Structure formats: structure tokens, C-alpha cells
């Protein structure tokens, strides 16, 4: 597939660098998630695949041969993956439109840069969300500085990106995200439950008032959250695989992502933020 211009970056706030697009644009990516990343045979993937090896379903034009049948073919994990726009950034910006098939010499570096770029884009997604919280206004200046630093890294060359201590950057940004979360959740009228990192697999939380709760990194796999009120709950990193969100209220939930919704089960009564899309596999 010939390279096409990447989607333009988001206009910069005065004094800040332009932000890269934080939504995946697969038409401008060289299928990096289908090649660079490994996966293991499980309920999420039908086969094993090593990092740096093209998926067996990848076509010559960098498109998936079973894209409309991924769940039926046992590749549910693909349907809930989101690079937050890192794929097209690496393909069209870092490597200037040179794909790994036509320019095999770029392959190794491209595969190494992609996971780093994805982390940078994910951080930008969360920081952007924190900046949208009125309660976090006291932190906005610090958040904008973190946003600017992270955005500058997304424009760096491959050598700089592979040498970046992205863990240290995540740590600094996460401190700000935690403080922003605390300020926002303080506005919730319910008791603020702390379930950070908790094992809540299969938990029965149907109809629970979970406003302002902390679910950062919690395991909510197959949990029953039907009818639960999750407004202002911090959901960063929460694992919603096969969780029942039927009738749940997720409006105003903090740091909720499209992949989290895609991993869960919901219905027409599930209320979600206007910035996200109701997954196609949810029941009517």
C-alpha cells in the first residue's frame, strides 16, 4: 500500500506544540499492531504469534483479512486493542511513510519504537482527559507542561525514542493524574470506595452506587456491574473483560477508554460519555 499523508495533528494550544491525533487511523498505519506485538493463544487470540512476525491474517495491503469476523474467528483481543494513534505516528512521522515491506531495514527499529509511541499517546489521552476536568484546574498548568513534554517526544526520531526512559515519564505524569483524580472524585456525593488494584473478578456489584470510587488497575473481569452508577469513578487501567455493564451509568467516569468498553458487555441502556462510541457487539 502506498503511503498517504497522515491525518493532521491537533492544533496546538498557544505556547504548546501541536498534539498528534490520539485516535487510530489504520489507513495510514503499516499494520504495526498486527506485526510488532506478540500474542498468546487464549480466549482473546486463536493462535500464538511472536513479536515482529506478521499475523497470518494480514494481507499485502496491510489490511486484516478477517476484520469483520475477528470475534467469530477467535481474535477478540484485536477488537479491543487501541494504539491511541501511535500506529500512524510511527508509520508516517517517525519513519516518513517508509513501510517495513518496501524498506525491510526499518522493520526492527519500527517494531521497537511502536510500543514506546503507544505509551506516549496513551499518556496524552489521559492528560487531555485530566485537562477537561474543571475540578483539576489547580493542576492545569502542570498538566499542560506534562502534555507539552510528552507531545515533543512523539515527534522525536527513532533513536531518541528507543533511548527514552518512558517509565520515568509515566511516573511523573501519573502523579499528576492521581492528583487530578482526587480533586474530581472529591465532588462525588457517594462514599469514595478504594478498590485500587483490587481483585474483583466476578464481583456482584449490580446496582451499586460507585460514584467517585477508585478502580485504578482493578480486575473487574466478568464482574456484574449492571445498573451500577460509575459516574466520577477512576477507571484508569481497570480490566473490564466480559464485565456486565448493562444499564450502568458511565457518564463522567474518569479516564474511561474505548478498549475498556469494547472488552465489556453492555446494552442500549448503558450510559456512556459522549466522547466514546457504543460497541457494535453490545446487545440492543
Q: 2, 19, 15, 161: which is closest to 90 by C-alpha?
A: 161
pLDDT of the residue at 13: 54
d(CA 251, CA 232): 8
The verdict on residue 39 lying in a domain is yes
Q: What is the pLDDT of residues 178-201, one digit of tens each?
A: 999 999 999 998 778 899 999 999
Distance CA 30, CA 107 (A): 11
Residues contacting 68, CB < 8 A, separation 6+: none
Residues 123, 218, single domain; the answer is no
Is pLDDT above 50 for 223? Answer: yes
Residue 225 within any structural domain of the chain? yes
Residues 174 and 211 in one domain: no
Q: Is 20 inside any structural domain? A: no
As given in the structure block, the three cell numbers for residue 110 are 519500527
Q: Residue 127: enclosing H or E segment and its boundaries? A: helix 107-131
| Domain termination residue (choose one: 170, 186, 202) | 186
11 inside domain: no
The confidence band for 2, taking pLDDT boundaries of 50, 70 and 90, is very low
Alpha-carbon distances, residue 110 vs 21, 23, 74, 269 (angstroms): 19, 19, 27, 42
User: What pLDDT, in 10s, does the model give residues 17-38?
Assistant: 678 999 999 999 999 999 999 9
Domain-terminating residue out of 137, 152, 186: 186
CATH code where residue 275 lies: 2.160.20.80
Do 56 and 195 reside in the same domain of the chain?
Answer: no
Spatial neighbors of 238 by CB under 8 A, at least 6 apart, are: 215, 216, 217, 218, 220, 260
Do 216 and 258 reside in the same domain of the chain? Answer: yes
pLDDT tens for residues 149-178? Answer: 999 999 999 999 999 999 999 999 999 999
- Asked whether residue 276 is domain-assigned, the answer is yes
Please tell me whether residues 181 and 199 are part of one structural domain. no
What number of CA atoms fall less than 13 Å from residue 6's CA on the CB side?
Answer: 24
State which of 139, 154, 186 marks the end of a domain: 186
For residue 26, the 8-state DSSP code is G
- How much is the mean pLDDT over the chain? 92
In a domain, 7, yes or no: no
Q: Please indicate, yes or no, whether residues 91 and 168 belong to a single structural domain of this protein.
A: yes
Domain identity same for 154 and 100: yes
Residue-wise DSSP of 34-102: GTTS-B-SSSS-SS-B-TTS--TTB-TTS-BTTGGGTTTTT-HHHHT---TTHHHIIIIIITTT--TTT
SS3 278: coil
Tens-place pLDDT, residues 33-85:
999 999 999 989 999 999 999 999 999 999 999 998 998 999 989 988 999 99
C-alpha 136/C-alpha 154 separation (Å) is 25
Q: What pLDDT score does 15 carry?
A: 57
Query: Which residues span the domain enclosing 130?
Result: 26-186
**What is the count of structural domains for the chain?**
2
Indicate whether 115 pLDDT > 70.
yes
Amino acid at each position: 500500500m502506498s503511503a498517504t499523508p497522515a491525518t493532521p495533528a491537533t492544533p496546538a494550544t498557544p505556547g504548546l506544540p501541536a498534539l498528534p491525533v490520539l485516535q487510530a487511523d489504520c489507513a495510514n498505519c503499516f499494520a504495526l499492531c498486527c506485526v510488532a506485538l506478540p500474542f498468546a493463544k487464549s480466549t482473546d487470540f486463536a493462535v500464538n504469534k511472536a513479536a515482529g512476525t506478521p499475523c497470518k491474517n494480514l494481507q499485502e495491503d496491510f489490511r486484516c483479512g478477517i476484520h469483520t469476523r475477528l470475534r467469530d474467528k477467535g481474535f477478540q483481543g484485536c477488537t479491543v486493542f487501541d494504539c491511541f494513534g501511535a500506529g500512524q505516528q510511527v508509520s508516517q512521522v517517525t519513519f516518513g511513510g517508509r513501510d517495513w515491506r518496501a524498506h525491510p531495514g526499518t522493520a526492527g527499529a519500527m517494531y521497537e519504537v511502536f510500543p514506546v509511541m503507544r505509551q506516549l499517546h496513551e499518556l496524552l489521552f489521559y492528560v487531555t482527559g485530566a485537562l477537561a476536568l474543571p475540578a483539576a484546574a489547580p493542576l492545569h498548568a502542570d498538566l499542560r507542561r506534562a502534555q507539552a513534554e510528552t507531545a515533543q517526544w512523539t515527534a522525536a526520531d527513532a533513536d531518541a525514542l528507543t533511548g527514552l526512559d518512558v517509565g520515568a515519564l509515566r511516573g511523573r505524569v501519573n502523579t499528576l493524574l492521581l492528583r487530578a483524580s482526587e480533586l474530581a472524585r472529591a465532588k462525588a456525593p457517594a462514599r469514595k470506595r478504594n478498590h485500587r488494584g483490587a481483585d474483583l473478578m466476578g464481583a456482584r456489584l449490580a446496582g451499586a452506587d460507585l460514584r467517585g470510587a477508585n478502580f485504578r488497575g482493578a480486575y473487574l473481569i466478568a464482574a456484574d456491574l449492571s445498573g451500577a452508577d460509575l459516574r466520577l469513578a477512576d477507571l484508569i487501567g481497570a480490566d473490564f473483560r466480559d464485565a456486565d455493564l448493562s444499564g450502568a451509568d458511565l457518564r463522567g467516569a474518569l479516564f474511561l477508554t474505548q478498549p475498556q468498553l469494547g472488552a465489556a458487555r453492555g446494552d442500549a441502556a448503558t450510559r456512556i460519555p459522549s466522547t466514546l462510541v457504543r460497541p457494535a457487539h453490545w446487545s440492543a
